[in-house]
Structure 1
Amino acid sequence: MYAILDIETTGGKYNEEGITEIAIHKFDGHQVVDQFISLVNPEKEIQPFVVNLTGITNKMLVTAPKFYEVAKRIVEITEGTVLIAHNAQFDYRILRTEFRRLGFNFERKTICTVELAQKLLPEAESYSLGKLVRSLGIPVSDRHRANGDALATLKLFKLLLSKDLDKTIVKSVLKAETLGELSPRQLDIVDDLPSEVGLFYMHNKDGEIILLNKSNNIKKRVNQYFTNSGNRARRIQKETRKVTFEKTGNELIALLKENEELGRNKPKYNPFHKRKLFTFGVYASLNDQGYLQLKAEKLTHTIHQRITTFNSLIAAENFLHAVRDEFQLCNKINGLSQAKTNCSKYDEGTCLGACITKEDTETYNHRVKELIQKYSLTEKNIAIIDKGRILGEKSVILIKDGVLKGLGFCDLNYQINNLPILESIITPMEGNENTNHIIESYLRKRKVQKIIDIKE
């Protein structure tokens, strides 16, 4: 017996959402034998974007039953069934969270139609519910309303059952283990975690770290580890006895701490910690005409100056295209054009003629040096300032002579501006090519609050 489920929520912070509408169709594999559809008063405001998406407004829910008033009906209609939902992990998590607030441990087996479709419909262009059912010619109405989406999921599930010649769906229902289900102990662990950026550490019964990761949402990521299937995931779930965490305030601090601590702890379930995090670089050298040329190349030990590093040649070349526009550089000089005379950008007026030696080398090279100053840490003495872990706190990353020296947190500006004080409050870290790669890659894509020059 199956219970086809769809839930609409208020939106908002992870694990703080409230249910606004629920639809359940009890399905015996052939026909619907019971159903329950209801708006639900979440006792909190609906996020505006959710109102626009679903059409459900706060006013519509004023007289709707609260969750505790429909909880018994939900338990009864799903008793002895397997919950079926499109992205089942989401609906099941929301439902369990609501029941947990009532002091009830709601447990059901689950099957996700996204995962089923990926196995049984491998050629599909998209596995979002709307696009998938349209591609299959399944009629759907009231999209983003609980009953409309539940009916679409029911029709999709019927089709998947018919395509499942190996009967993997039925076999999975008969397995003793449950999919996507947290034990009470794991629920307690997840409940104590913050929905914030930082690092988390999974410990075994001896207190050893068996896995550590950075995440922009610690609670959500740990929950995923506890609900994933697969042999590795199940081993992690079985061995984890405690999860500790450390807030970092921003992702760059988390990335640097993760890199450092993986090398120190070498947790058994983390992938092998690579010696180098990058394989390509952008290098600067003088060409025969005296222009500073930039080339994207595989990692080398050349005497040419390496400006910054990348994970792929495409990423390095995309960087060259971007800085060409930013600093009015020449494609031909940088190896992005094979033109015999001038590059095409000169015809467009965005190249100033270095390709045909029309622009003097000093002016052109000055712009290249500005680029290097902006995008490379080489020989820099700076402090990177960004958000801290709490309001009013700042995070600080100290770079001296182009190398990471450490990071820390402070409350007062004079702690940042006074180098001896700053060096005393930071946690020393080993700076190397990997840490430079992490910092430079982050600064290319993200903004920090400010970067200040540090003077001895």
Structure 2
Amino acid sequence: MYAILDIETTGGKYNEEGITEIAIYKFDGHEIVDQFISLVNPEREIQPFVVNLTGINSNMLKNAPKFYEVAKRIVEITEGCVIVAHNAQFDNRILTTEFRRLGFDFNKETLCTVELAKTLIPDLPSYSLGKLVRSLGIPVTDRHRASGDALATVKLFKLLLSKDVEKTIIKTFLRKHTQKQLEPKLVDIIAQTPSITGVYYIHNKDGNIIYIGKSKNIKKRINQHFTGTNRKSKKIQLQVATVTYDATGSELIALLKESHEIKKNKPIFNRGLRKNVFSHALYTTLDNNGYINLKIDVADGRKRPITTFSNKQSAKDFLHQATEKYSLCLKLTGLEKTLSSCFRYELKECDGACVNEENTKLYNNRVNEFISKYSYKDQDMIIIDKGRNVNERSAILIENGIFKGYGFYDLNYQLNNKDILKSIIIPMENNKHTQHIIQSYLRKNKRLKILKLDSELRK
């Protein structure tokens, strides 16, 4: 659990500042579960430059509670939490100083979003909160007021958690806190797990990830792990201490994250992951008459396919549908072996490419239309899918036919700013597995929005 806060002060000499406003959002890694926002009477003058910056003046604070009146609420909302702030050293110093004046030792672990951002999003021109959230497409209101800045920090921290693919933040927290807890019951872990789409991480008592999986219903899948009777399930049941998860909203991103993070984290119970997620692929050849032929074959890593399939039957089913939709020839798609005309030609549904009657250019244009639809070779595009909540969408970036990664963006921002687009993307490796995952998903989800990138956005 995290207490994400921002403090506005009077300014002045070091360790003589007073708090004028405080905002704390209790954050469980996914959503805000509690909050406390209040003006505070600092019982001292506010520096003029601070008044100009925040708009908070002495008249506004006359009837505000003094720090000792809000101290108990601050202790309660931060209990068991790691303090998170942008420039955490400053906020933590101010807070501990105020408590020290009351004779109370306020000592918390801290995380600084400035330092995390420099590690996880390197080479940005500025890491000040205003410029950083603007460059990441994070909406912010009431800048330089505690509630507005703290809420922007929540959204920034959520993004940083997503970019931390090796789960360093989560694992460090669990190593320090899991062992202090009573041995969890499996039923309690299930009860705390949501029924959402995403990736889940099963941790042992040391905080290490022992299994990574994805599901459209995480609670249901965890329940299957904890009630399973096979050897792997029983081993997981013996070693599990806690389960964490990342909501994705999009099943495609869950599939891509699972594949990517298993390779990064190498959990002990994912070693049996199928090495080949696909067995067959669709290739093209050019025959002696100039027609483009399609052929289903065993997947060959040395060749670049149009698309790949988990098995031969799914490949044939897909190609039959494409043959009807694009008026292709059964013979030239390899679905019918014949030395003469194909069956569709006899039904007058094939224009005669099988017997060299149809104009090659017309036929090949339809084949290329089909290829363009189901292969993203050399294409620059964004696949738009569901987000983690109703106010956002997910974006999968492909440049020149190469998968670059994914990100989430607020609906208040349009994806027409190249800098924002590139900064929100969480990089991922482009390989045959990710290509198969994306192509399979595109085949099954035909209503997905696909945004073609223009030359300006690609720069």
Q: TM-score range by the shorter chain?
A: 0.5 to 0.7
Q: Once the 2 structures are TM-superposed, how far is the Cα of residue 314 of structure 1 from its aligned partner?
A: 2.0
What are structure 2's unaligned runs of at least 5 residues? 1-182
**Residue in 1 that maps onto 2:440:** 441
Residue 323 (1) aligns with residue 295 (2): no
- On the 8 A contact 1:225/1:237 being kept in 2, the answer is yes
Q: Once the 2 structures are TM-superposed, how far is the Cα of residue 446 of structure 1 from its aligned partner?
A: 1.7
| Distance in 2 (alpha carbons) for counterparts of 1:265 and 1:234 | 21
Residue 297 (1) aligns with residue 297 (2): yes
**Residue in 2 that maps onto 1:339:** 338
Kindly tell me: are residues 447 and 355 of structure 1, through their superposed partners in 2, closer, same or farther at Cα, counting changes over 3 Å?
Answer: closer
For each residue in 1:335-384, what CA deviation from the matched residue of structure 2 results, as whole angstroms up to 9, or x when unmatched?
Answer: 22222221110111211111111110000000000001100011111101
| Distance in 1 (alpha carbons) for counterparts of 2:385 and 2:299 | 31
For each residue in 1:247-284, what CA deviation from the matched residue of structure 2 results, as whole angstroms up to 9, or x when unmatched?
Answer: 00021010000010111111111243444422211001
For each residue in 1:112-132, what CA deviation from the matched residue of structure 2 results, as whole angstroms up to 9, or x when unmatched?
Answer: xxxxxxxxxxxxxxxxxxxxx
Runs of 4+ residues over 6 Å off in structure 1: none
Q: Once the 2 structures are TM-superposed, how far is the Cα of residue 191 of structure 1 from its aligned partner?
A: 1.4
- On the 8 A contact 2:282/2:305 being kept in 1, the answer is yes
**Residue in 2 that maps onto 1:264:** 264
1:127-206 correspondence to structure 2 within 5 Å: 185-206=185-206
Kindly tell me: are residues 413 and 286 of structure 1, through their superposed partners in 2, closer, same or farther at Cα, counting changes over 3 Å?
Answer: farther
| Distance in 1 (alpha carbons) for counterparts of 2:274 and 2:358 | 43
Tell me the amino acid that sits aligned with residue 422 of structure 1.
Answer: L
Tell me the amino acid that sits aligned with residue 321 of structure 1.
Answer: H
1:29-40 correspondence to structure 2 within 5 Å: none
| Identity fraction in percent | 46
| Distance in 1 (alpha carbons) for counterparts of 2:301 and 2:217 | 39
**Residue in 2 that maps onto 1:119:** none
SS for the counterpart of 1:207 is coil
SS for the counterpart of 2:201 is strand
| Distance in 2 (alpha carbons) for counterparts of 1:442 and 1:311 | 12
SS for the counterpart of 1:409 is strand
TM-score, normalised via structure 1 length: 0.58
| Distance in 1 (alpha carbons) for counterparts of 2:206 and 2:262 | 19
**Residue in 1 that maps onto 2:401:** 402
**Residue in 1 that maps onto 2:360:** 361
Residue 282 (1) aligns with residue 282 (2): yes
For each residue in 1:200-254, what CA deviation from the matched residue of structure 2 results, as whole angstroms up to 9, or x when unmatched?
Answer: 1110011111111001111111111111123322211110001001100021010
| Distance in 2 (alpha carbons) for counterparts of 1:306 and 1:210 | 34
Tell me the amino acid that sits aligned with residue 430 of structure 2.
Answer: G
| Distance in 2 (alpha carbons) for counterparts of 1:327 and 1:208 | 51
- On the 8 A contact 1:386/1:448 being kept in 2, the answer is no
Residue 209 (1) aligns with residue 187 (2): no
| Distance in 2 (alpha carbons) for counterparts of 1:212 and 1:204 | 12
- On the 8 A contact 1:377/1:436 being kept in 2, the answer is no
**Residue in 1 that maps onto 2:423:** 424
For each residue in 1:277-301, what CA deviation from the matched residue of structure 2 results, as whole angstroms up to 9, or x when unmatched?
Answer: 2221100111110000000011236
- On the 8 A contact 2:184/2:241 being kept in 1, the answer is no
- On the 8 A contact 2:204/2:210 being kept in 1, the answer is yes
Q: Once the 2 structures are TM-superposed, how far is the Cα of residue 302 of structure 1 from its aligned partner?
A: 6.2
SS for the counterpart of 2:193 is coil
Tell me the amino acid that sits aligned with residue 278 of structure 1.
Answer: F
Kindly tell me: are residues 368 and 454 of structure 1, through their superposed partners in 2, closer, same or farther at Cα, counting changes over 3 Å?
Answer: same
**Residue in 2 that maps onto 1:411:** 410
Tell me the amino acid that sits aligned with residue 369 of structure 1.
Answer: N
- On the 8 A contact 1:419/1:454 being kept in 2, the answer is no
| Distance in 2 (alpha carbons) for counterparts of 1:184 and 1:226 | 13
What are structure 1's unaligned runs of at least 5 residues? 1-182
Q: Once the 2 structures are TM-superposed, how far is the Cα of residue 450 of structure 1 from its aligned partner?
A: 0.7
**Residue in 2 that maps onto 1:349:** 348
SS for the counterpart of 2:408 is strand
| Distance in 1 (alpha carbons) for counterparts of 2:301 and 2:390 | 44
| Distance in 1 (alpha carbons) for counterparts of 2:217 and 2:434 | 23
**Residue in 2 that maps onto 1:454:** 453
**Residue in 2 that maps onto 1:100:** none
| Distance in 2 (alpha carbons) for counterparts of 1:395 and 1:448 | 15
Tell me the amino acid that sits aligned with residue 294 of structure 2.
Answer: L
Tell me the amino acid that sits aligned with residue 373 of structure 1.
Answer: S
Kindly tell me: are residues 324 and 407 of structure 1, through their superposed partners in 2, closer, same or farther at Cα, counting changes over 3 Å?
Answer: same
Q: When the two structures are aligned, how many residues end up with a matched partner?
A: 273
**Residue in 2 that maps onto 1:371:** 370
**RMSD value over aligned CA atoms?**
1.7
**Residue in 2 that maps onto 1:380:** 379
1:28-107 correspondence to structure 2 within 5 Å: none
SS for the counterpart of 2:406 is strand
Residue 236 (1) aligns with residue 256 (2): no
- On the 8 A contact 1:384/1:448 being kept in 2, the answer is no
Kindly tell me: are residues 399 and 278 of structure 1, through their superposed partners in 2, closer, same or farther at Cα, counting changes over 3 Å?
Answer: same
Tell me the amino acid that sits aligned with residue 248 of structure 1.
Answer: T
| Distance in 2 (alpha carbons) for counterparts of 1:302 and 1:262 | 25
| Distance in 2 (alpha carbons) for counterparts of 1:451 and 1:413 | 19
| Distance in 2 (alpha carbons) for counterparts of 1:204 and 1:285 | 51
Kindly tell me: are residues 281 and 384 of structure 1, through their superposed partners in 2, closer, same or farther at Cα, counting changes over 3 Å?
Answer: same
| Distance in 1 (alpha carbons) for counterparts of 2:206 and 2:320 | 52
SS for the counterpart of 2:415 is helix
Q: Once the 2 structures are TM-superposed, how far is the Cα of residue 448 of structure 1 from its aligned partner?
A: 4.9
Q: Once the 2 structures are TM-superposed, how far is the Cα of residue 453 of structure 1 from its aligned partner?
A: 0.4
Tell me the amino acid that sits aligned with residue 282 of structure 2.
Answer: V
| Distance in 2 (alpha carbons) for counterparts of 1:293 and 1:421 | 42
| Distance in 2 (alpha carbons) for counterparts of 1:413 and 1:340 | 59
Kindly tell me: are residues 302 and 351 of structure 1, through their superposed partners in 2, closer, same or farther at Cα, counting changes over 3 Å?
Answer: farther
| Distance in 2 (alpha carbons) for counterparts of 1:277 and 1:361 | 35
